[in-house]
Structure 1
Amino acid sequence: MKHAALHQWHKEHNKRIAEFHKNHEIEIQRGENGNGLLAKWERFFYNNVISPLKKVK
């Protein structure tokens, strides 16, 4: 794979990942990320750490 092709693929990949994370954050805010233990920890961490940090900015 040539460098230019790899660079283009990586740019597109980064866009897909950024979109996924944006959508996942919205799901967490709505409480739609599931009921499992990991999902509960994820919501707890988001609500108690990440969300307050975003409000400070």
Structure 2
Amino acid sequence: MAQLKVTQIKSGIGGTHRQRETLKSLGLRKIRQSVVREDSQTVRGMIATVSHLVTVEEVD
């Protein structure tokens, strides 16, 4: 199954509570921190919620 590398590029400080909690559930705590997650509908939905705060790359 494909994997996604999610990197936080902006702070969640000015965001809503939902956006901050989504970053936390993805495992992102600091700017420029990256995590690798399985590509699933759940993760895609979380990424869509904070799409303006993260970048996404596919990893093989």
Confirm or deny a common fold (TM above 0.5): no
Structure with more of its chain in helix, by fraction: 1
The TM-score, its normalising length taken from structure 2, stands at 0.30
Q: Which structure is higher in RCO with an 8 Å CA cutoff and minimum separation 6? A: 2
Flag the structure with larger Rg.
Answer: 1
Structure with more of its chain in strand, by fraction: 2
